[in-house]
Amino acid sequence: MEKITSPYKWGMVIDLDRCTGCGACVVACQAENNVAICEKKEIAEGRNMHWLRIERFWVGEYPDIRVRFLPVLCQHCHDAPCEPVCPVYASYHNPDGLNGQVYNRCVGTRYCGNNCPYAVRVFNFHDHEHAWPSPLENQLSPDITVRSRGVMEKCSFCIQRIRRVKEDAKAEGRMIKDGEVQPACVQTCPTEAMVFGNIADPRSRVSRLSRSPRRFRLLENLGTHPSIYYLKGGGREHV
């Protein structure tokens, strides 16, 4: 049983000093990945379907209030707590370093959702078959399924985009160029706060940024080894 290896290890860097909290990434993700449009009631019940959320924290007292934004998405941990607990292998680790979710294998035990310390996994509590009032269903991407009820979903680093670029690169007999594949959120970010690429390549932009002295990762003490590095303010203020 040889281990399947890959020259790619996808990673992301999010520069919190550039993030304005505009939320364009959230909308882009929703548009790209057929994420269900939720009603107000669902969101109030804690059942929103956003794959990417902007956490907003107020710091300080009036009139000295500041606000911090933290975009949280699936961290694609190298030692993901969500993967070993799925009884049917719906959550698994991809040789590219991605945490994969197989929608049609998911039975809906929600163990992975419980075990994710970042709480980035969302579950289809509601039946979202009709979440796109006509004619919005024309906007759905054909590269990715529309998930049924009872299935867990989460950010996949836009694996459909990665796949398409991989196929193009393979057809041309070359490696993927740095910056060629961009998930929807990275593509949309107006301040280029989000950078995506191959961390295994030491010369890629994301690799260089991930070596910045401003870097930190979320909940590092849990030993999940996330693939996302956050950059923040010279070490004085972490979120």
Partner 1 sequence: MSEPEHALAAKSAVQLNDEMLSSMRTPTWRWYGLAFFLGAVVAWGISAFTYQMMTDLSVTGLDRPVMWGIYIANFVFWVGLSHSGTMVSAILRLSQANWRRPILRAAEAMTVFSITVAGLFPVIHLGRNWVVYYFMPYPNQRGLWPNFRSPLLWDATAITTYIIGSSLFLYLGMLPDLAVVRDRASGWRKKIYAILAMGWRGTAREWVVFRKASTLMAALIIPVAVSVHSIVAWDFSVTVVPGWHSTIFPPYFVIGAITSGVAAVITLMIIIRRVFHLEEYLTPLHFDNMGKLLLVICLLWAYAYFVEVQTTWYAHEPIEWEVWSFMAGKYTPFLILMLISNAVLPIFALCFKKIRRSVKAMLVITVLINIAMFIERYLIIVPSLSHKNMPFIWGSYSPSWVELSVTAAAFCGFTLMYVLFAKFFPMVAVTDVRELGVRHSDIRLGRTEVHTISEEE
Partner 2 sequence: METLGIFKDVETATRAVDGLVKAGFSEETITSLTSAPYPDGVIVKTDQRTWFRWMSMAGGIFGACAGFLLAAGTAYVYPVQTGDKPIIAYFPTGIVTYELTMLFSMLGAIVGMFVEMKLPPRKERPYDPAIADGFIGISVSVSAGDQTNRAESLLKESGALRITREETP
Q: Which of the listed partners (partner 2, partner 1, none) does 136 bind, with a CB threshold of 5 to 8 Å by partner kind?
A: none
Q: Which of the listed partners (partner 1, partner 2, none) does 79 bind, with a CB threshold of 5 to 8 Å by partner kind?
A: partner 2
Determine the Cα–Cα distance for residues 110 and 208; give it in Å rounded to an integer.
Answer: 36
26 binds partner 1 (CB under 8 A): no
Question: What part of residues 113-172 is at the interface with partner 1 (CB under 8 A)?
Answer: 113-115, 117-119, 121-127, 148-152
Closest separation in Å from C-beta 176 to partner 1? 30
- For the CA atoms of 144, 150, 152, 156, the dihedral, rounded to the nearest 10 degrees, stands at 0
Nearer to partner 1, 46 or 63 (CB): 46
Positive or negative, the CA dihedral 95, 100, 106, 111 is positive
Length of the chain: 239
210 binds partner 1 (CB under 8 A): no
Nearer to partner 1, 17 or 55 (CB): 55
Nearer to partner 1, 156 or 224 (CB): 224
- Long-range contacts (CB closer than 8 Å, 24 or more residues apart) made by 138-142: 139/31, 140/34, 141/32, 141/33, 141/34
The gap from C-alpha 48 to its chain's centroid, in whole angstroms, comes to 15
Instruction: Show the site string, 88-107: x = touches partner 1 by CB under 8 A, - = not.
Output: xx---------------xxx
Q: Which of the listed partners (partner 1, partner 2, none) does 103 bind, with a CB threshold of 5 to 8 Å by partner kind?
A: none
| DSSP annotation string for 90-127 | -EEE-TTS-EEE-GGG-----HHHHH-TT---EE--S-
Nearer to partner 1, 87 or 142 (CB): 87
Convert 211-231 to b/e letters by CB count within 10 Å (16 or more is b). eeebeeebeeeeebebbbbbb
Question: What part of residues 58-97 is at the interface with partner 2 (CB under 8 A)?
Answer: 78-81, 83-84, 86, 89, 91-95
Distances in Å between the Cα of 22 and the Cα atoms of 15, 16, 17, 32, 131 are: 14, 12, 13, 18, 24
> For residues 202 and 194, is the Cβ–Cβ distance under 8 A?
no
Closest separation in Å from C-beta 86 to partner 1? 6
> Which range in 14-22, 83-91, 171-179, 207-215 contacts partner 1 by CB under 8 A?
83-91
182 binds partner 2 (CB under 8 A): no
Binding residues (CB under 8 A) for partner 1: these are: 42, 45-48, 53, 55-57, 70, 72, 81, 84-89, 105-111, 113-115, 117-119, 121-127, 148-152, 218-219, 222, 224
